[in-house]
């Protein structure tokens, strides 16, 4: 699952940036990117669950 691994790596990097106390604009940008990553991870999880159901 390279896509999931890539998303998780990006999420970790963004969370680390949040820990550096960024300014309000950068914080908002980081939070927006994190929201997109969370959505993508949920969608990939749903796709994987559906694929697993088809295989059974």
pLDDT at 56: 46
Structural domain boundaries, residue 33 = 2-51
- Can you give the pTM of this predicted structure? 0.79
Asked if the structure places residue 22 within a domain, the reply is yes
Q: What pLDDT, in 10s, does the model give residues 1-52? A: 588 999 999 999 999 999 999 999 999 999 999 999 999 999 988 777 666 6
* Total structural domains within the chain: 1
Determine if residue 21 is left, alpha or beta; phi over 0 gives left, psi from -120 to 50 gives alpha, anything else beta.
left
pLDDT at 54: 57
Instruction: Give the SS3 label for residue 56.
Output: coil
Asked if the structure places residue 40 within a domain, the reply is yes
What does the alpha-carbon distance between residue 56 and residue 40 come to, in Å, rounded to a whole number? 25
Asked if the structure places residue 56 within a domain, the reply is no
Asked if the structure places residue 39 within a domain, the reply is yes
Q: How many CA atoms lie within 13 A of 40 on its CB side?
A: 14
CB 56 within 8 A of CB 36: no
């Amino acid at each position: 699952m390279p896509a999931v691994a890539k998303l998780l790596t990006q999420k970790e990097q963004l969370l680390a940036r949040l820990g550096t106390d960024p300014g309000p604009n950068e914080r908002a940008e980081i939070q927006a990117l994190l929201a997109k990553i969370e959505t993508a991870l949920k969608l990939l999880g749903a796709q994987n669950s559906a694929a697993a159901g088809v295989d059974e």
